[in-house]
Chains A and B, each alone.
Chain A
Amino acid sequence: MKKAKLFAGITLLSSVALTLAACGKSESRSDESKTASKFKEVVPTKAAKKGGTVKVAVETDTPFTGIFNDELSTSATDTEVMQYGAESLFGTDDHYVFNNKGAATIKVDQKAKTVTVEIKKGVKWSDGKQVTAKDYEYAYEIIANKDTKSQRYTSSLADLEGLQEYHEGKAKTISGFEMPDGENGRKAVLHFKTMRPGMNTSGNGYIWEAAAPYHYLKDVKFKDLMSSDKIRKKPLFFGPYKLQKLVRGQSTTWVPNEYYYKGKPKLSKITATVINPNSVAQSIKSRKFDVTQVINSQWKNVKDTKGVNFIAKIPLQYSYLGFKVGKWDAKKGENVMDPKSKMNNKALRQAIGYGMNVNEVYKRYSYGLSFRIPTLIPAQFGDYFDKNIKGYTYNIKKGNEILDKAGFKKKGTYRVQPNGKPLTIRLAAMTGNSTAEPIVQNYIQQWKKLGLNVKLTSGRLIEFNSFYDKVQNDDPSVDMFIGAWSLSSEPSPNDLYGAKAPMNYSRFVTPENTKLLNEMDSQKAFNHKYRVEKFHEWQKYMFDEAYVIPVANSYSITAVNKKLTGYSLKPSDSMGNGFPNWYNVAYAK
């Protein structure tokens, strides 16, 4: 399991919303690569001055919860409203690999099975106290102690020696967490059961990347922590800004943290205010805020706004078409594939893939802000992404050939199964914005051209909760489904497609898949070249078998006041928390 901050902070719901929201009305688009160069990731750099207030829009339907603690927070909106103070311990390069430019340094030692973390001197909480090794350990305690009701405890984190014992209440301390210079020292040595090749990458899920102020929180009982004022009203952070004022659910106001280890930040104030997503386009046009996230379906309304820079990144997420070929065995905790299931036919799945005119659909409905993706490993992962795989490009002729060859004969309008039984495929798809329905209907029409009778499960699009209820519980009324994932920044697909992964909603298990996934995360895979090779092999395998067909991803665009400088969406410019480094943001002279 992976770490749940940052990119990962986006839950299913919001990632789906993002993906679907990315489909708007028609506007032509050239090709994917051209669109990619349409946006920059950074606003132009200018000479900065001191002072000024930056107003940031927080777009959400619901008031934020306001649990200002990485170990306890479960909502993406909370992560968003605390980004100004909640800096992560580690910095990364643009491919999310740890570098030592953040608040702490990290060293992975495969042989000794240790990870050494050293917090830099001068990294201080907003009350002036040095961040210590104990603060780092305390984050682990908050996660693992059952009383806190944290959702963050995972079997991956339990790779740390003694964490499971602590979690189960069998041990009072975490035996694998060593503090060579004592609690007030800055050094921590973490002892692991098994070393993983992804450990040098942010979001790997084995190493927690935040600290919690022990000296400040130690008087609060674990069970009261989540609702305590020290978390909810007056939290401590070691990032560039500290929380000055909170209006529950509505806004947070931040002022410089004078103890910030890189120096005093330049802005005099930042306010983050909740606005209804329906008001976003108007807010950008009337420049109510200095930083606003664009909702892609409203792009046409806002793109000509003067006085703002539009910058964008491609988030770590994708939508996909999954085929149900088995069931989850809750007792054994593993996926069981049913070789006789309707969709367990490679030719059928491939043909369905060739029948999707993803590019045309998004050209029509998303202003070119969404685009087809060829493989299940996003291009942002650098060399792990296999650029030779072209994916399922729209090709009705090829689809028909494949089906003919595999014995799906036509009887009237539609094809029948090779055994002569009629074939109806039921597709589950989620409700989204106004374009969700036409997009799905379009696919159904294309599949009809292949002679495939595809019907919507329940006869219409399904609301988010019901959708996942059906998909997670392997409802027999679902043969295939269009879902979406937001990914962790460590590329291993084991948690989504492994034999023991409950989120492998297709329920496919093949020896080859298991072998490749294991190899990717094996000790041998500490060799980068070997790991890349295995990633490429897996992508080829998944393309060929088509148990899951990747569909699309979308730009995530931010409108930034032209007077601001230093605002960057590059991972290397982030504070390790997936958000821009606010220390660098200032008004231009």
Chain B
Amino acid sequence: MSESLNGKGLALVPKAEGKQTLKDFKSDQEVRWCPGCGDYAILAAVQSFMPELGIKRENTVFVSGIGCSSRFPYYMNTYGFHSIHGRAPAIATGLAASRPDLSVWVITGDGDALSIGGNHLIHALRRNVNLNILLFNNRIYGLTKGQYSPTSEIGKVTKSTPMGSLDKPFNPISLAVGAEAGFVARTIDSDRKHLHSVLREAAAHQGTSLVEIYQNCNIFNDNAFEDLKDPEKRDVITLRLEHGQPIANATQAVKLAPTGGLEVVARDSIAESEILVHDVHNPDPSLAFALSRLDEPAFQHVPIGVFRSVDRPSYDSLMSEQLDLAVAQRGHGDLDELLQGGDTWKIN
């Protein structure tokens, strides 16, 4: 693990007194996703993960936008805010910037985060407010019943695109790295262990962390990530990213390409020393970006794990520092002094 569990991301959040369990984080609300939805697995993973953080449940807030995944906060027995389409990062920014004692989680989907909320997402990432953004990517619009999304592959045939979609999809990892995100990771709904490990690092990161979670929509886009789950294929196409480790699996390896980018070659075609060693803390985002492009064409070689984890001061901590500095320099504000400031005159 590259970060300790009680990293800076949770430094200001009060610790829980007793031991917490999964049950503590389950709300009394009936979960209403379609049977078989990947969201169940993510919910269970998050509920079972939260006790591990050891922070006070009442200081935990889940904020969501609109979409299937955005019902998530109702099922967590924490504070929660189910807001409006695309705006969760903005709402969470106000909350996190004014309450450094909270652990704030944003639950969003590919349509919510990358279509209607694209602007808020990129600005949250560059601004680096202390938020954890979990982007459930199922590459389809579920709640509106099956239109193509900004992560659907070109040519996707849906109700709104009977002859196939025309627009190139976003690669959420590339987008996040390009938007100056300090922490970017990818995981998958069905792999709870990996999901936990990524959440752990995201929570510990101070600033905005973006975790893309491949999530299956079994109604409108079933088996979109099947290759990554198929026991025969997954080990061949998945490239696990681990800090300090060579980026390779049994058959594939990543090396620097002569063009300056990265290329995937047969593992047995190069020497071990030529395999790129993953450095999540590299301040230069070029290699993280190049890693995100390896998934093109899709599902030939898919990096999974933390692409980038770079420390820089979070927006909320800088904001608090300015407030403290203003007080240190000139003392706490005095209302009478303020109102009577400027050019005044007195009439007797």
To the question of whether A and B form a pair in one complex, the answer is no
A residues engaging B (CB < 8 A)? none
